[in-house]
Structure formats: C-alpha cells, structure tokens
Chains A and B, each alone.
Chain A
C-alpha cells in the first residue's frame, strides 16, 4: 500500500464528499454558500496533508508533519516518567549502601552472642577455631552465603579484622566483668568471631531443618554440663567455654537459654548476636525466609545489610509492592493505554467472520483503514491469525 495510493483515495473521498454535500451548502436558503464549502475543503485537505495522510497535490507534503505522530510521542514521554520510578530504585540502592549499619549489627552479634567467655579463656582456641572454621561449617556457611549474597564476604572481612577492635572493646568489658583476665584480645576476638560463624553455620541448617535447636543444642549440652558432648559436637568454641569456665557454666547456660528463645522469635529485635546469624540466614534464604517470616521483617534492615544483593532483593520484596504495582499498572494500564496507543496503531475495518479454535483466533476483515507506524494503509481484505 503505497502512501500515494492511500493519498489518492483520500483525495477522491474529499472530492466526493465535497460534490455530494454541495447541494446542502448552496441550495438551502440558510446555506453557508460555496465559499464556505471551499473553505471546508481547504482546511480539511491542509489538515490531512499536515497529518501526512494526503500527499499534497500542489505541495508535496514533507510527510514529516505528523500531528498524529505527535500524539504518540507524548505518550512516550509519559513512559519516561515511569522511568523515574527507576530512579527510585536507584535511591534504594543508595540505601543499600547504608547496609554498613547492618554490618555493625553483625559485629555486635559476635561480641555478645559468641561464647565470648569460653573463647577468651582458651588461648589454643584460635588454632582450633581456625581449623574448625576451615573444616567445619564455614565451607557450608560460606558456600551458602556466597551463593545467596555477596555481602557475606564483607561480613567475613569484618570478622577477620575491622570487627576486632569493636569486639575487643566488648570483650574486655564483659571479660573484665566476668573474669579479670583477658590476655589475648586478638585471639579472643577471633574466637568470638568463629563462635559467631559457627553459630551462623549451625543456624542455617537448623533453619532449613526448622530448628535452631542444633545450634542451641551445643549450648544446651553446655547447660547439661556434658563436656564430652560438646566436644563431640565439634564446636570448638563451646569446648573452650566449658573447659574455661565450669563455674560460669550456669551463667553461660542462662545466657544461652535466654539467647535460644530469642533466636527463635525475636532474633531481629533483641539479640544482636543471634539476630546477626539469623539475618545472615535470612539473607541466604532470603526469599523464602522473607515470605515465611515477614512478621519478623523488622530484621529486614539487618538482612539487607549483610548482603548488598540480599538487600536489594530484600528491599525489592519490601518495595516489591511498588515495582509490582508499576508492572501491574502496565498490565492494567494496557486497557487505559489502549486508547492512547489506539491513536498510534489502529485498524478500522469490517469483519466478515471471526472464529476461534482453542486459543487460536482467525478473522477475515474487509474495507479497512490501518494507521500503523504513522502511515495510513488501506486494504480490501485482511486475514488475521492471533494467538490468545
């Protein structure tokens, strides 16, 4: 369908209308007269030329003039506006950067939670600790974390070095309180860190299994006072704890017990230590965890902190409503946008037959005018095959 063809048809239509309407303009007493009719034709033709629908007989229209196209363009701008929403996304990312705060949280966790006291007492602990980490849950935990989130790595780093200072401060405070002697802060810190790690390691599986119990089991064992059991458990930190402070056992146990309950429920809220591990766990499993325990959601912030990705996702989930809404809007808007887009791409025709077989639609159209890609195309017949 060359544009010229369409143009010619349009010109003929205009001529035909002018001829057939002429009587109305001229003959009636109150009729506007021939001049008005010419004016009508002139304006009509000029508009069609501007629209690019008619190739000016005299003036070859630039074809660029497209009032109609302009309409479509405007919608495009609107689309851009939604993109601002993307900016919003960016904003969240910035917030994600904030996660450092959560990082702090993790650090705190190690301090309080980890079997602080026991670790301190055992100097050898560090070596064991390191070995334990390497051999033990670290691999699992790390693997899980890495897979889930990059952030864990930062956290790990924190544990290794930067956290040390903070830990030391905390350790010293408690150590002093509990025990007068804390000779090796560094070692202790490491232990603490390890303790935290293990807990984390332990935690993830428990979550999956549906219970912190295992982790706490270590603690529980401690409560029972069975050193052997603890050792068997393979949690070096725990062993150290037991060996170091038998007398403290009750206190530790109490702490552990208190922690345990916290871990299950309040993780996000109260227990910094527990919360941290939990958070990590959440981060690892974040999707499921969030869905399952949105209520605990408050921890979301920490979760976000652990892993940037996790944060993003977490944020997304939290904010999912917005993105989803936008998407939904698109779907919903489809109907609304239809009108806008109708102007852009529209087919006006008569149908001879419309049939459907399952999801396959077929239709035969005739005498149609299509406005597609800023061009007017006429057809005598059209066949349509659509998949619904």
Chain B
C-alpha cells in the first residue's frame, strides 16, 4: 500500500517524529525501526482518515500563491474561511499541501 509521508507534518506526526528522534538519540531505538514506525504511522493515519472521518469542510479565501510540483499542490490562502458542520474558522494565512489522491490507488 502506497502511503504519503504528508501526514507526518501533522501534530500527531510531529509528536511521533520527536519521540522517535529522542529514542534514537538515546540509543533506545535503531534508526531502522524508527523509520518502520513512521511508515506504519503513514499507513495508519491514512486508513484512519478514510474510515473514521466523515466530515466535510468548505474552504474559501484569497489565493496568494499556488504551486504544483512533483504531483503536490501547494496553496497559500489569505483571509481564508473554513466551514464545517459545527463551526467556522477564520485564518489570515494558511498553507494547503495536497498530494494526488490517485497515487494512493496505484
């Protein structure tokens, strides 16, 4: 199963990365196992998003920058408005990084 390393930049992914870094620094973990954990996280996170999350969001805003490189879209929005069923959030600037979903199915 193909996975994206994309989600490692999320809060939970960063926490895992920090943890693994510390443990590798300590010599508690080998770098190889640490990488295996990260790969497993990629899979688990992707799967969890597919299976457990059902919510929908709409995003509007001024597109300050767009970039498509290596099948990754990057948008930088200004004065963005995020809406979902529960509430909405305003953000002065937000970055959106999106990988091609079709790559996962390959």
Seen from chain A, the residues whose Cβ lies within 8 Å of a Cβ on chain B are 1-2, 5, 8-10, 12-14, 16-17, 20-21, 24-25, 30-32, 36, 39-40, 43-44, 47-48, 51-54, 68, 334-335, 337-338, 341-342, 344-352, 354, 361, 363, 365-373, 375-388
In-complex Cβ contact of B10 among A44, A348, A354, A386 (8 A)? A348
List A contacts of B18 (CB < 8 A): 47
Q: With A40-B20, A40-B37, A363-B98 in contact, do A348 and B6 touch (Cβ < 8 Å)?
A: yes
The answer to whether A384 and B60 have CB atoms under 8 Å apart is: yes
Given A5-B55, A367-B49, A372-B91; 11 other pairs, CB 8 A cutoff: A13-B48, A30-B30, A36-B23, A40-B29, A48-B11, A53-B11, A68-B14, A346-B9, A351-B98, A354-B73, A388-B66
The answer to whether A379 and B9 have CB atoms under 8 Å apart is: no
List A contacts of B75 (CB < 8 A): 361, 363, 384, 386
The answer to whether A342 and B95 have CB atoms under 8 Å apart is: yes
21 pairs from A and B in contact (CB 8 Å cutoff): A21-B37, A24-B33, A24-B36, A40-B37, A52-B11, A53-B15, A345-B91, A346-B94, A346-B95, A349-B96, A350-B104, A351-B100, A354-B98, A365-B59, A369-B7, A376-B11, A377-B82, A380-B54, A381-B56, A383-B58, A386-B62
Is B84 in the interface zone, CB < 8 Å from A?
yes
The answer to whether B97 and A347 have CB atoms under 8 Å apart is: yes
The answer to whether A1 and B84 have CB atoms under 8 Å apart is: yes
CA distance A356 to B59 in the complex (A): 15
CA distance A140 to B93 in the complex (A): 49
| Interface residues of chain A: helix, strand, loop or mixed (majority) | mixed
Q: Which of chain B's residues 68-96 have a Cβ closer than 8 Å to chain A?
A: 68, 73, 75-77, 80, 82, 84, 86, 89, 91, 93-96
Is B19 in the interface zone, CB < 8 Å from A?
yes
List B contacts of A348 (CB < 8 A): 6-7, 9-10, 97-98
Q: How far is the CB of A150 from chain B (nearest CB, A)?
A: 36
CA distance A352 to B37 in the complex (A): 28
CA distance A43 to B46 in the complex (A): 22
List B contacts of A334 (CB < 8 A): 64-65, 76, 93
Q: How far is the CB of A263 from chain B (nearest CB, A)?
A: 50
Q: Which residue of B lies closest to A44 (CB)?
A: B19
Q: How far is the CB of B87 from chain A (nearest CB, A)?
A: 8
The answer to whether B40 and A21 have CB atoms under 8 Å apart is: yes
CA distance A1 to B83 in the complex (A): 10
Q: How far is the CB of B28 from chain A (nearest CB, A)?
A: 6
The answer to whether B57 and A12 have CB atoms under 8 Å apart is: no
CA distance A215 to B52 in the complex (A): 84
The answer to whether B76 and A338 have CB atoms under 8 Å apart is: yes
List B contacts of A13 (CB < 8 A): 12, 41, 44-45, 48
The answer to whether B57 and A377 have CB atoms under 8 Å apart is: yes
List A contacts of B57 (CB < 8 A): 1, 368, 370, 377, 379, 381-383
The answer to whether B53 and A379 have CB atoms under 8 Å apart is: yes
List B contacts of A377 (CB < 8 A): 57, 82, 84, 89
Interface flags for B1-32 (1: CB within 8 Å of A; 0: not) read 00010110111101110111011000011100
The answer to whether A12 and B52 have CB atoms under 8 Å apart is: yes
List A contacts of B104 (CB < 8 A): 350
Q: How far is the CB of A139 from chain B (nearest CB, A)?
A: 48
List A contacts of B41 (CB < 8 A): 13, 17
Is B106 in the interface zone, CB < 8 Å from A?
no
Q: Which residue of A lies closest to B54 (CB)?
A: A380
List A contacts of B82 (CB < 8 A): 370, 372, 377
In-complex Cβ contact of A372 among B64, B94, B101 (8 A)? B94
Q: How far is the CB of B1 from chain A (nearest CB, A)?
A: 12
The answer to whether B86 and A1 have CB atoms under 8 Å apart is: yes
Q: How far is the CB of A55 from chain B (nearest CB, A)?
A: 13
List A contacts of B95 (CB < 8 A): 338, 341-342, 345-347
The answer to whether B12 and A53 have CB atoms under 8 Å apart is: yes
The answer to whether A345 and B66 have CB atoms under 8 Å apart is: no
The answer to whether A383 and B59 have CB atoms under 8 Å apart is: yes
CA distance A354 to B84 in the complex (A): 20
List A contacts of B10 (CB < 8 A): 53, 346, 348, 369, 371, 376
Q: Which residue of A lies closest to B45 (CB)?
A: A13
